[in-house]
Structure formats: structure tokens, C-alpha cells
Structure 1
Amino acid sequence: MSTTTEERSRQSESPMSDPEFRETLRELPPSAKLVAKVLEGASPMSQGQLAEKSLLPDRTVRYALNRLEEEDLVDSRYSFNDARKQVYFLIN
């Protein structure tokens, strides 16, 4: 299975490849690690989308996002599609 040049460059830009990011993430609960991994694959995502993709309950996703935000690993902004919703993304 080969990866294209675009896929390799996107992977190298991922915050998950940063040793400091990974070390901080290592200290967080499993739910936060899973949410970060889901965000790595497709972001930005709303809390509801994260719950759907991760198969975690909404409350657990909210807790995981709070922990990730406390550690400055995740940030949020208002959705361009629906300004009532926040979307989350990993911080590079």
C-alpha cells in the first residue's frame, strides 16, 4: 500500500507527529486520545460529529474536548455552515 506525496506531506504536518504534542497527549485519558485521533483524520468537526465517529457518548466527548483544550492541543471556532455550532480542530 503506497501513499501519495500529498498524503505524506499531510501526515508530516499533523500535530500528532510533534513529540511534545504526543507527550502531552500521553498524560490524558483514553477518551481524549481517541477524540484527538478522530480529529487528526478529519477536522474540523462538531461535538456531535465527534461523538458519532468515535462512538463515545456526548458527555464523554465534551469532557475529552475540555481536557484537550486545557492542554492547548485543540481549539474551536464557529462553524461556517451553522454559526450556532462550534467545530474543533487540532492545534499545530
Structure 2
Amino acid sequence: MSTISDETLATPFATEEFRERLRDLPPSAKLVAKVLEDEAPLSQGQLADASLLPDRTVRYALNRLEDSGLVESRYSFTDARKQVYFLST
């Protein structure tokens, strides 16, 4: 029987480096990161719905998170026209 270490279960929020880079970002970016921690991967529209933030604010938050290296994106498997976002590990 294999066991799973605490490190395997740790989210990026658990690391001090992640939290330090997130600390200086605006509240909207922190909220988007928290939503992604619980529900990733999500599209920009799904993030706007889940966070109750306007699309423009979500776009700004994602740009800030990507510039900080905290969020990555890829094309959606279900709709190649859309990108989905997830926390960097």
C-alpha cells in the first residue's frame, strides 16, 4: 500500500515563495488565484463567474499573475478557441 506524502498534497499556496510573490499583487489577483486553487483549470469567463469580478478585472488579474509566474495557461481540450488557466507548481 502506497502512502501519499504531505508534499504531494500541498498546493502552491502552501509554499512560502508562492505566497511571497502573491503578497504584492492586487486583491483581484489574489481572489482569482484562490478560485484557481479550488477549481482549476478555468477559462476567463468561468473565472469571472466564479469570482463575481468583471471580465476586464479578471483579465488584468490574470496578466499580473502570469507576469509573476504564478499562473499558466493552455488551450482548452473541449474548446480549442479558449484558454484555461491554472496555478503554477
**Structure 2 length as normaliser, TM-score?**
0.91
1:37–1:10 Cα change, 3 Å = farther
**2:74 pairs with one of 68, 74, 77:** 77
Paired-residue identity, %: 69
Tell me which residue corresponds to 2:21: 24
Tell me which residue corresponds to 1:89: 86
C-alpha RMSD of matched pairs (Å): 2.0
Which runs of 5 or more structure 2 residues have no equivalent in the other structure?
A: none
Which runs of 5 or more structure 1 residues have no equivalent in the other structure?
A: 1-5
**1:38 pairs with one of 18, 35, 38:** 35
Count of matched residue positions in the alignment of Structure 1 and Structure 2: 87
Cα distance between partner residues in 1 of 2:9 and 2:20: 17
**Structure 1 length as normaliser, TM-score?**
0.88
Counterpart code for 1:52: D
